[in-house]
A and B are shown apart, each in its own frame.
Chain A
């Protein structure tokens, strides 16, 4: 792996980690939602540090000719998992919104009745 790619991925990983930490500190991101993003940052940071592990994984275990393919697959895998997690989350929120719309509508009607009495 070239030195430029190593520096590039480390910087990207570090930048990503700092951005995630910044938003968690600001309160815009809940810690439970950012676990996967932190793992991705750490993974990017780990590439130049444990390069040999990925090379070993790709040549000896997975049978890839190029170590970068393993990195792509891991990154895409992360994104799949995260999209699926978000779909489940979205579904839950959608149900909750439906309950809230129904409930607020009923409460509003009951409140109006109280004022009209």
Chain B
């Protein structure tokens, strides 16, 4: 169906209750993409369940914090295996396979290098809890001012990237990624065209979300620190764009 080689990276950390339905959703709606599960150091049966369904797994030997600890892994994997598009897909059941086409199409059409699936554009489906929503709004406003266009959901884990972004993170900027702000701004400074598309998300199926009280309080502080950090690096990152800008 598609001439683009697409990889769906399912992020999982102790998701043995959710992963089966997520993978079944992805396999039944498969329109020609490859699926890989990035197991971020789970100590439950996540790997066994994936093996039973027949989905390949990349397992981190230790947990690397939140889902951003897996970003480098899927970029490196996609680069090594020659994928044209890679999509991040959460293993907790919040994302729907039917919505994947919405974030992949802008890349296929050449409209964007980095696509974010935002649940706040149309306001349909699960919208996250209120305090977090306010913080996301503030951070998105700041990021929007830096980028020069509106962004509504900087924390969305439902994202797609093309070869430009894959190459940048797999080969040039091989460092720890802490949050969505950093990922977005680094890509922007490298010259990636960013686009946000509306998607519908659901509430996670089982278990608690990774956001608890202390991380929820630290979230805006970390967000602002990461934004400031990226702003300070912006000149260096733009120089990198000049050096590698034509590599796709």
A binds B: yes
Footprint of B on A, CB under 8 Å? Answer: 94-95, 98-99, 101-106, 108-109, 113
Label chain B's interface by main secondary structure: mixed
- Contacting pair B176 A95 (CB below 8 A): yes
Is B94 part of the binding interface, using a Cβ–Cβ cutoff of 8 Å? no
Q: Is A106 within 8 A of B58, CB to CB? A: yes
Given contacts A98-B69, A103-B76, contact A109 B175 (CB under 8 A): no
Chain B 38-67, CB-CB to A under 8 Å as 1, else 0, gives 100000000000000000111111101000
Cα distance, A94 to B174, chains bound together (Å) = 11
Q: Which residue of A lies closest to B72 (CB)?
A: A102
How far apart are A95's CB and chain B's nearest CB, in angstroms? 4
Given A95-B175, A101-B64: A108 and B59 interface contact (C-beta under 8 Å): yes
Cα separation A101 to B77 with both chains bound (whole Å):
12
CB distance from A108 to the nearest CB of B (A): 7
Measured between beta carbons, the chain A residues less than 8 angstroms from B27 are none
Note all chain A residues with C-beta closer than 8 A to B72: 98-99, 102
Q: Mark B73-89, 1 if CB is under 8 A from A, else 0.
A: 10011001000000000
Instruction: Report A91 CB to chain B, min CB distance, Å.
Output: 8
Residues of B near A103 (CB, < 8 A) are: 76
- A106→B69 contact, CB < 8 A: no
Give the shortest distance, in Å, between A88 (CB) and chain B (any CB). Answer: 13
Question: Main SS of chain A's interface residues?
Answer: helix
- Bound CA–CA A101/B72 (angstroms): 9
**How distant is the Cα of A95 from the Cα of B64 in the complex, in angstroms?**
11
Q: Which of these, B56, B61, B174, contacts A109 with CB under 8 Å?
A: B56
A103, B64: Cα distance in complex, Å: 13
Task: Tell me how many residues of B have a C-beta within 8 Å of chain A.
Answer: 18
Contact A105 B176, beta carbon cutoff 8 Å: no
Contact B76 A102 (CB under 8 A): yes
Q: Which residues on the B side are within 8 Å of A113 (C-beta)? A: 56
6 A–B contacts, CB within 8 A, in A order: A95-B175, A101-B60, A101-B64, A102-B72, A105-B58, A108-B58
Q: In the complex the two chains form, is B73's CB within 8 Å of A106's CB?
A: yes
Hey, which chain A residues are within 8 Å of B80, CB to CB?
Answer: 106
Question: Cα distance A80–B175 when bound, in Å?
Answer: 26
Which of A94, A101, A105 has the most B CB atoms < 10 Å from its CB? A105
The answer to whether B174 and A99 have CB atoms under 8 Å apart is: yes
- CB–CB A101/B58 < 8 A: no
Q: Looking at the complex, which one of A94, A95, A98, A109 makes contact with B58 (CB distance below 8 Å)?
A: A109
Task: A104 to B27: give the CA distance in the assembly, Å.
Answer: 27
Give chain A nearest CB distance to B211 CB in angstroms: 22
Tell me the complex Cα distance, A104–B58, Å.
9
CB distance from B86 to the nearest CB of A (A): 13
CB nearest neighbor in A for B39: A105
Do A105 and B56 form a contact, CB below 8 Å, given A95-B175, A98-B176, A99-B72?
no
Q: Which of B38, B57, B176 has the most CB of A within 10 A?
A: B176
Q: How far is the CB of B60 from chain A (nearest CB, A)?
A: 5
| Residue in A closest to B173 when the chains form the complex, CB atoms | A95
A106 to B75, alpha carbons, bound, how many Å? Answer: 11
Beyond A106-B58, A106-B80, A109-B57, is A101–B176 a contact (Cβ under 8 Å)? no
Q: How far is the CA of A32 from the CA of B38 in the complex (A)?
A: 38
B77, A106: Cβ atoms closer than 8 Å: yes
